[in-house]
Every structure is written in C-alpha cells, then in structure tokens.
A and B are shown apart, each in its own frame.
Chain A
Amino acid sequence: MKLKYFLMGAAAAVAMAPMANAGSHSSRGSDGEVKLIFWQAPSLMNPYLSGGTKDLEAAALVIEPLARYDENGNLVAWLAEEIPTVENGGVSEDLKTITWKLQSGLLWSDGTAVTSRDVQFTYEYCTAEGGGCAQAERFNDITSVDTPDDLTIVINFSVAKPFPYNPFVSFENPIIQAAQFADCLGPKAPECTEANFNPIGTGPFTVTEFRPNDVITLAANENYRDPNKPAFATVTFKGGGDATAAGRSVLETGEFDYAWNLQLAPDVLAGMAAAGKGVTVSGFGTLVERIMVNLTDPSADLGDERATLAHPHPFLTDINVRQALSMAVDRELLVEIGYGVAGKVTCNVLPAPAIYASTANDACMTQDIAGANAMLEAAGWVAGSDGIRAKDGVRLSMLYQTSTNAVRQDFQALIKQWWAEIGVETELRDIDASVFFGSDPGSPDTYQKLWADVEMYANNFSGSDPESYMANWASDKIPSPDTQWQGNNMPRFVNAEYDAMVAKMAVTANIDERAALAQAMNDMLMQEFVIIPLVYRGRVSAHSNSLEGVKLNTWDSELWNIADWSRK
C-alpha cells in the first residue's frame, strides 16, 4: 500500500525541527508575556471530558499527542520519533497493528519521565466504563495497547485499519500522565478537579491558575524538551465575550496578542485591520456551510410519523426542485458577503484534502435563475397568481431553519429572495445554537430532527481522513424515533449503492482507491442534490504585529506551534 501522502508529512516533520530552531534567536522565557483571547471560555483542560473546541485548544498548550497535523493537513511526529508506516515497519502488513516509538528523554512538567505506560493509561482512561469519554470513538476496534518497553507502544486492532492514525493523534487525543490520573478512572473522572484543571503535560506551558470559563494563566514548562523554548515566560488565556470584541482587542486596541476564530463579516474585519495594530491570518480545513434537504414530510399533522421515511416529502422528492434550489444560489456573492478571504465557493460537501476533492459538480459555481425556472417549468411546476409555483395542488412553500448567527441570517435573507425568484416561497426560522445543535429528543428544533423542509449549518471532520464523515449519509444513520432522533443522515437519504460504497471504504486500504470512493460518494450526494453545499469555510484569526511564528492550523489546534512563537 502506498501511504505517500503521510510519508511526505513525516519527512516534513523531520525537516521542520531544525528549521524552526535556526530561526529562533531567543532563549526560554525571554519574551515575557503573550496574551491570547478566545471568545469562548475554556471550562476545563481535559479533552477527554469535554469535546468543546475551546477546551481542546486550551489543553493543547499543556498536553500533547504522539503525532499531529501540521498547517497543511500532513501528519507530523510530535512526541513520537516518527510516523509509523507499512514501509518503515511501524504498521503491520495486515494493517491490524501499529507500533509507535516515543522520543527518548521526554519529561513531564513535574520532572518524571514520559513512558509508554502513560500512553497505555490514556487508552485505559478513555475507555473506562462510566467515564463518558468524549474521544471514545478514536479508540474503536482496539483490542489492546501493549508496552513491550518504556518507549514502545503497540496498538492492536480487531479489524484491518486502512487509516490507523486515530488513537493518540491530534489535539483531540493527547497523552495524559498515568500518575496524575490514576485515581480518576471511569465514574471518578469528574471528581479529579485538580487534575482536570491543571494537567501535568509535556507541552511548552504549565497551568499556574485555572479559572473555569474565565481566564487561564500559564508559565513556561521548565522541563520542555527544547531548552530554548518557549520564548514566552507566561501566557494569559482570556475567554468570554464575542468575536467582535476579541478582534477589536487585538486589531484595534492592541491589548491582546492573538484572537481565535474571528467569525465576522468581512467588512467589519477589514475595518478593524485598518487600525494597523495587527494582521488577520486565515486557513482552510474541511468545513462546509451547507443546506440539508429533507426528503421526508415534516408536516405536524403526521404525529409520530413526522419526518420519517414512512412519508416522502410532497415536493422535495422531485430532483428537479432540489436541483433548481441549488441553481438559484449565487455562491460567489455568499462568500463575498459572509466570509471574504475566509470562504471559497464550493460545489462539494467534501472539499479537502486535495486528493478527495471532486471537480465533477463545478457547474453550481455560477448562479442560473433562468435555468432553474426553466427546469421547474418543464417539470410541471407552474407559477400561480401569487408567483409561487405549484403542481397538483402542492405549493412550493418551505420552512428554512438554521442556528442564530448574523452571517447565517444574512444568508437566509439572500437565499429566500433567490428562491422567490424561481417561485419558491420560504419561511425563515432561526433557533438558538444551544437548542439547534443539542440532541434533546424532546425538542422539536434540533438539527437532527429536521422538522423543517431545509436547514443550513456547517460541518467538517477531524483529521484528514473522510471515511467516517462520508459514512454519515448511509441509510443506517437516518435519525428517527427508533434512534431517539440521533444520526447524521439528516436528508434521510436512502441509496443502496451509496451504502455499498460506505461498506467498501471501510475495508479499502489503498489511498488512491479510497480517494476514488470518497469522490464517488460526494458526487452522488451532490448530483442527487440532497445536500446543497454553499461555502467552503476557512478560519480567520488575528495576531498582533509584534507576534512572530504564528502558523494558522485548521487541522489541529491553532496553538499547535506556540512553542515557536516569539516577540519581534
């Protein structure tokens, strides 16, 4: 099997280490304080008890994984010596075993040695019964984690893993210290407040004071593996507020050095950047803003069978209608209004990495209202006196829901107008994000229930492997009363061919074949128009002019290389 892609990443990692050293002239702690502002405040520093991105970002300052993704989405060895592959013997031929080697001489911030036992413990911690570990999925199919010696970790899988780089990789899955968390297994996990707020780590900083949902102060780790790093002696990690204020404090008043994830209208951001105190940086991961089309009837009259497969949607089951909805959208304008440099037009639900991105659907890039009108006309949908098209008494009238967010509301208004131009009536509804993205089966407004005709939100996948992401639209992932409305196949898309491809991808090892499969699945979803992609969204952050070494990483933590940051 060819893992060229990942090998390249491994090579890059080796090349990177000396490079970074060459650039730095400072010694540890010589640059004083660096102040970060996150408009969402971290609640705890343990990624296994909270999957919230804000908590993961904060934890990335302190605890580290064996390997992580760099700013281009390539795997780089972090605590490990190198990325194990089949070629270097790290991954077994049958793809059921992967062997990681820790760098030698690694120390925890309390001065004790990092051993393979800590890695093994991390696995035990997350898979302990009753712990409710947020990253449990990353340890799926593991039969055992062995430690033949102090530096070697062998992970055995029960099935062949074409992509064995889930456990202990990326900021979602860092290594925690066995000694510190030994009494925190399973149901006892929440009781270890001290450990959850102040984990002992291998990263460049250690926690001095943790104030939940407010501010974290950190100091340079005395035992960090590079004696010259980090350049900063302390970190202040402030949380709370809103993106506008965070951007303002970096770009306009210069009170802070780094602001995370500034999801702001492009002209607002440009206005702030004009003050000249800082610059914005942007990068792209896999996040796509999309519209999900409901293929089942969400009418309230259906009672318990509302929005289930028992009742097909009155008009969205007509592919012509779905295609017309997509054609009427001017994606370039959406990008310009909503995201600026942090957005790109896309016609795919799987936009990256490059080997998975399809070009088969690019016709959607240009808006075609006339074409959409003609298509509806030909399909027998005729405009009535109120301008709304109808056929056999069924009017094209829809409820369009999304979460509350200024950009999404602008999108809703624009799309509503375009759809009106093709004779489709739209009622808008916005729902508070904590309800919309919750999965309370008692709430009618969750994104999974989709008790509306269409809905808009953004999603991505972690890491660079789309297997589980594409499996979201298999027919066994349809949310329904039987599954407590859990499952991510919101369009309720049923297609045997698609299901077959999902099954095939799970057993395919060859990277090119995997890419071909992923592309085919993406194309099928796109050409069925059950998902209407709108914008390929990047991430914008900002840092002050005096801060050096920031490399915005959308595949891993934004703070992944904070050890290399310094003051100009």
Chain B
Amino acid sequence: MTDAAQTAAPADDGSGHRAPRNQWWDVWDQFKTHKGALIGAAFFLFIVLAVFIGPLIWSIEATFIDIRSRNQGPSLAHPFGTDQLGRDTFARMLKGGQTSVAVGLTAMGLSLFLGTGIGVLAGYFKRLDGPLMRFTDLFLALPLLPLLLVIILLFRDPLRAAFGPETGIFILIVFVIGITSWMQTARIVRGDVLALKEREFVLAARSIGTPNNRMITRHILPNVMSPIMVSATLGIANAIITESALSFLGLGFPSDFPTWGRLLFDATDYLQQYPERVIWPGLAISLTVLSVNYIGDGLRDALDPRIRGR
C-alpha cells in the first residue's frame, strides 16, 4: 500500500539526476499539467482581482441611484445595464462580488476547518466519536431560521459596536454560515477516517510508534483530501446562496448592500421583463463555483502521489 505523502513520487522525466527538492514543487508541477485547473485558477484570480480592484477603476458608486436611467439595457455608460432604481449593474456586480467572494471563501474555510477537525477527531479517537457525533446530530437537527434569529439577537449589536456595521455583519454572517454547514463534511470525513484507520499503512505507521498528531497530519488527512475538496466546492456555492437568503430574511447585510446572491434574487422577479439582469449574477456565481471546482480537481490530483507519477 502506498503511503500518501511520505514517499516522494518519481520525478516526471524519470532522469533521477535532479537535486532532491521540496514535494510542493512536485505538486505544482502536477498541478500545471492539469489544464482545467490552470484555467480555473486563472479565472478565479481574474474574478478576485476584478471585484477587489475593479471598483477603484469603475467610478460609479454601487449604491448611487440615477432614477432617470432605470431599467436600461447594456450601453457604454452602463455595460451591464441598470436596475429598477437606475443603479449601475456593473458597479453592483463588482461590489457585490467583493462580499460574495469574501463570504464564500471565509465561510467555506470555517466550515471546512470545523467539519474536517471534528470529523478527523471523531473518526480517529474512539472515545471522542460518540460525543462528537451526537453533537453533530444536534446541529443537524436544529431549525436553522430560529437559530439564526437567536444568533442575530445575541451578537448583532455587540459586533456592530465593536467592528462597525459592515465588518460586524460580515463576521456574523461568516460565523453563521460556517457553524451551520460543517456537519456534512464532518460526517463524511469521519466515515472515511474510520475506514482508513484500519488500513495497512496506518497500522504500519502506528507500529513504528508514530504519534497521533503526526499520524493525522501525514497519513490520515492527505487521504481524505478528495471528499474535502468536493465539500469545499459545494461549500462555496452554498455560502454564496445562503448569504443571499440571509439578507433576504433581513438577517444579513443592509438591503442596499449588493451581493451576487441578492442581485440574483432581486432579478428573479424581473425574469420575463429584463432577462439579462439575472444572467450576470447567475453567471458570476456559477463560474466562480466552477473555477473553484477545477482548482479542487487539480489540487486533488496533484496531492495524490499515485496520480502524480503518471
């Protein structure tokens, strides 16, 4: 049985004259050969740059209302058209992207961290399995909406006072999405770890006295990467959509604060009159998720030494 990360895979060219090098270079070499992953990464970088630098260049304010030019189609002045109040859709897409990408990434990160952590601990340490999985059951069973209302009730004002309205709400939303979406990852990771734990290479590593923390980081974690990657991709899509559901319920950002999910939601009513309006946010969310998916695919392949050698 191959050991995931410990044995370096043979180099690509097979020459063997190369100086020994960091395994991450191998990972990068493999990643480079994955066309989808490269395109995905380039596109994702493009989106991130566009939404964070774009608003500095495109000078129209996302919340500025020019009521005379409402409901316009794409033009030079408004490349994506305007909405029902005459706000520039392009500016709103850029500004909204900032929030959506930031919320998507951080909330996904938090949920992965919690899910992987709890999953690995529960799967690896038999004593923790029961309590942690019952805790997971509890979170799965909690009704989301009342839970959100309670969290908002308890934490909104303190956070708003401490960090200002926007950052405060950002932290709150990331926290809310993170702690309500880790359970699936935890269950999946735990299931995989339960099976991995009995594999020969783990038994072998244990027999030579590998301490638990190194077992987890070097043997267990690398082998549960693929479900984690899938969870990550699905998690970003989830976070972006959940954020829009939150602000629609009045639990998220103030209503004039654009996000992709909210733009999509608002445009759905105008689907028949102005179909182009749903396209932009829909496309942006889908493409972002798609690009993260390809990055995840590439990373997974690159991290798998069995594939890396091919």
Residues of A within 8 A of B (CB): 244, 264-265, 267-268, 271-272, 300, 333, 337, 403-404, 406, 409-410, 412-414, 416-417, 427-432, 435-436, 442-444
Contacts and interface: CB of A to CB of B under 8 A. Distances in A.
B249 A428 contact: no
A267 B256 CA distance: 21
A414 B85 contact: yes
20 contacts: A265-B84, A265-B269, A265-B270, A267-B71, A271-B273, A300-B161, A404-B249, A406-B266, A413-B63, A413-B85, A413-B256, A427-B165, A428-B255, A430-B250, A430-B254, A430-B255, A435-B149, A436-B250, A444-B153, A444-B157
Given A268-B270, A268-B273, A300-B161, A413 B255 contact: yes
A244 B149 contact: no
Contacts of A264: 269
A224 B55 CA distance: 67
Contacts of A337: 67, 84-85
Interface residues of B, number: 25
Contacts of A406: 266, 269
A417 B65 CA distance: 7
A118 B4 CA distance: 83
Contacts of B71: 267
Interface in B246-282: 248-251, 254-256, 266, 269-270, 272-273
A429 B161 CA distance: 15
B135 interface: no
B148 to A, nearest CB: 9
**Max chain B C-beta neighbours (<10 A), residue from A412, A432, A442, A443:** A432
Given A410-B84, A412-B255, A431-B250, A417 B269 contact: no
Contacts of B28: none
B64 interface: yes
A300 B157 contact: yes
Contacts of B270: 265, 267-268
Given A267-B71, A432-B251, A435-B250, 9 more contacts: A264-B269, A265-B270, A404-B249, A413-B87, A413-B256, A416-B256, A417-B64, A429-B254, A430-B254
A409 B256 CA distance: 7
Q: Which 9 A/B pairs are nearest by Cβ-Cβ distance?
A: A409-B255, A404-B250, A428-B254, A430-B250, A432-B250, A413-B256, A431-B250, A271-B273, A417-B65
A14 B193 CA distance: 82
Interface string B267-310: 00110110000000000000000000000000000000000000
A427 B273 contact: no
Nearest to B71: A267
Nearest to A264: B269
Contacts of A404: 248-250, 255
B250 A403 contact: yes
Contacts of A436: 250
A506 to B, nearest CB: 38
A244 B255 contact: no
A432 to B, nearest CB: 4
Interface in B121-135: none
A413 B157 contact: no
B184 to A, nearest CB: 26
A333 B84 CA distance: 12
Interface of B: 63-65, 67, 71, 84-85, 87, 149, 153, 157, 161, 165, 248-251, 254-256, 266, 269-270, 272-273
B85 A410 contact: yes
A206 B123 CA distance: 60
Most B CB within 10 A of own CB, among A333, A403, A409, A416: A409
B191 to A, nearest CB: 37
A409 B65 CA distance: 13
Contacts of B273: 267-268, 271
A415 to B, nearest CB: 10
Contacts of B63: 413, 416-417
Contacts of B269: 244, 264-265, 268, 406
A413 B65 CA distance: 8
Contacts of A410: 84-85
A414 B67 contact: yes
A435 B65 CA distance: 29
B149 A428 contact: no
A427 B266 CA distance: 20
A333 B67 contact: yes
B153 A412 contact: no
Query: Which of B65, B149, B256, B272 has the most chain A CB atoms closer than 10 A to its own CB?
Result: B256
A465 to B, nearest CB: 34
A49 to B, nearest CB: 24
With a 10 A CB-CB cut-off, give which of A268, A436, A442 has the most chain B CB atoms: A268
A265 B84 CA distance: 9
Contacts of B249: 404, 432
Contacts of B272: 271-272
A290 to B, nearest CB: 19
B250 A414 contact: no
B283 to A, nearest CB: 22
B291 to A, nearest CB: 31
A553 B83 CA distance: 34
B153 A428 contact: no
A499 to B, nearest CB: 34
Nearest to B256: A413
A346 to B, nearest CB: 20
Nearest to B247: A430
Contacts of A432: 149, 249-251
A429 B254 CA distance: 5
A300 B156 CA distance: 12
B229 to A, nearest CB: 35
Choose among B71, B85, B157, B266 the residue with the greatest number of A CB atoms under 10 Å from its CB: B85
Contacts of A412: 255-256
Instruction: Specify which of B64, B153, B254, B273 lies most central, judged by the most chain A CB atoms within 10 Å of its CB.
Output: B254
B95 to A, nearest CB: 14
A221 to B, nearest CB: 39
A454 to B, nearest CB: 14
A444 B158 CA distance: 13
A251 to B, nearest CB: 11
Contacts of B161: 300
Nearest to B252: A430
Contacts of B251: 432
A264 B250 CA distance: 19
Contacts of B266: 406
A406 B248 CA distance: 9
B248 A428 contact: no
Contacts of A272: 272
A244 B266 CA distance: 12
Given A413-B65, A414-B65, A267 B255 contact: no
B143 to A, nearest CB: 14
A357 to B, nearest CB: 29
